[in-house]
Amino acid sequence: MDSALSFEIEAVCPWSGARAAILRTPHGVIETPVFMPVGTNGTLKALTFDQVERTGAEIVLANSYHLYLRPGSDLVARAGGIHSFIGWPKPVLTDSGGFQVFSLTALRKITEEGVFFKDHRTGRGHFIGPKESMKIQNEIGADIIMAFDDCVKNPATYDQAKAAMDRTHRWLETCVENHKNTSVQSLFGIVQGSIYKDLRTTSAQTVTAIDLPGYAVGGVAVGEARPAVEEVVMYTTPLLPAHKPRYLMGIGTPWDIAYAIRCGIDMFDCVSPTRLARHGSVFSSEGRLSLRLSKCINDFSPIDPDCDCYTCKNHSRAYLAHLVRSKETAGGTLLSIHNVTYLLRQAKLARQAIIAGKFKEYFETIERAHNAEETTASELIDLPG
Ligand SMILES: [Zn+2]
């Protein structure tokens, strides 16, 4: 397949296989490993794109399902594509809509051609399959587009996982046949197979047998226990070609990011920084912090003294706690600025460590902090916006 992408590896950590690379797209250059903030409806919730730019984001993700339903992918096309429509000239990635169709919609009917479903807001009937997903994503016009897959929720039996995987493979062929803009948009294939290693192997072999610009590990953090997520990522990532970008879909806490990079992942996305911000929580070098805690009311220090985001440079925990308690919109904005910046910086620090030959030390520091902190598995699951 023609590719609008180029991927150049700069350094590989011999201990782990973690990579630093340059990914070139029609709308700009991305230094990997990279965190991709999610702009579900063509916006990162509570942030303007000027603010997004200042977080250091190099690429944002948009959801095809949401844009298809409202305002309509044809309208985005008439606006000149997603970059013109949202006013963000840098790279954009769209998901296929598959995850939302399977997870958000009621009254689904799955056929070999795709999925009939009802709009989660209006109740109106729609149909999206691999062919329709390619049309929608071609109209939206992101730099990187994703194959339409069947992402089975966990726990899934072996037979359920295999059926979804086989369908994903058949749908990938339809996606390849129907993708019209190969010169400007790069289609990534998605490896499925749930928690079953032999299925992951089969899926990786089948998907990578098709020459695509990049590949993704899908179906992780969809209901399984944390150790299972890590095992799948550790097992599956090396099955993907080393010379192409590898994308782990839907994860994004500081620990998730470090672990994914350690496994050889280059790209990851998650709604967690903006969602947590809206709930008054922030990432910090001391772990996750809720600004609703009474100890923040009189704390005049920044969220994180090492963070150089606008929020940490200008505001104290006390002020932010006041905004959160008063339900002020600016609170969500300021916490989102910090959380997005924080995760972007985590990926950038990992990148610097890989290039400097110090990734093992970097990872072990993060691992110690992670082991010291209790994590809540439910917060790691990627839910919509
Ligand atoms: Zn900050």
Instruction: Please write the tens of the pLDDT for every residue from 176-217.
Output: 999 999 999 999 999 999 999 999 999 999 999 999 999 999
Instruction: Please write the tens of the pLDDT for every residue from 241-272.
Output: 999 999 999 998 899 999 999 999 999 999 99
**If you average pLDDT over residues 335-342, what whole number do you get?**
98
Is residue 141 within 8 Å of 94, Cβ to Cβ? no
pLDDT confidence of residue 2: 54
* CA distance linking residue 346 with residue 80, whole number of Å: 34
Q: How far is the CA of 5 from the centre of ligand 1 (A)?
A: 32
Is residue 271 within 8 Å of 289, Cβ to Cβ? no
Nearest to residue 276, comparing CAs of 347, 365, 370, 376?
A: 376
Beta strand pairing call for 34-39 and 267-270: parallel
Give percent above pLDDT 70 in the chain. Answer: 96
Q: How far is the CA of 40 from the centre of ligand 1 (A)?
A: 23
Beta strand pairing call for 34-39 and 114-118: unpaired
pLDDT confidence of residue 20: 98
Based on the residue annotation, tell me whether 150 is a catalytic residue of this protein.
Answer: no
pLDDT at 227 over 60: yes
Q: How far is the CA of 175 from the centre of ligand 1 (A)?
A: 40
Q: How far is the CA of 333 from the centre of ligand 1 (A)?
A: 12
CATH number for the domain whose boundaries are 6-277: 3.20.20.105
Q: Which residues surround ligand 1, an ion (CB under 5 A)?
A: 307, 309, 311-312, 338
Instruction: Please write the tens of the pLDDT for every residue from 3-54.
Output: 799 999 999 999 999 999 999 999 999 999 999 999 989 999 999 999 999 9
| Annotated catalytic residue within 266, 269, 304, 382 | 269
Is residue 329 within 8 Å of 277, Cβ to Cβ? no
Domain boundaries, the chain: 6-277, 278-367
58 pLDDT tier (thresholds 50, 70, 90)? very high
* CA distance linking residue 376 with residue 247, whole number of Å: 24
Based on the residue annotation, tell me whether 304 is a catalytic residue of this protein.
Answer: no
Q: How far is the CA of 354 from the centre of ligand 1 (A)?
A: 23
CA distances, 204 to each of 96, 103, 216, 344 (Å):
19, 23, 10, 28
Q: Which two tokens stand for residue 76?
A: 């985005």
Instruction: Please write the tens of the pLDDT for every residue from 285-332.
Output: 888 999 999 999 999 999 999 999 999 999 999 999 999 999 999 999
pLDDT confidence of residue 44: 94
Is residue 371 within 8 Å of 364, Cβ to Cβ? no
pLDDT confidence of residue 379: 45
Average pLDDT score, the chain: 93
pLDDT at 118 over 90: no
Q: Which two tokens stand for residue 178?
A: 């129907």
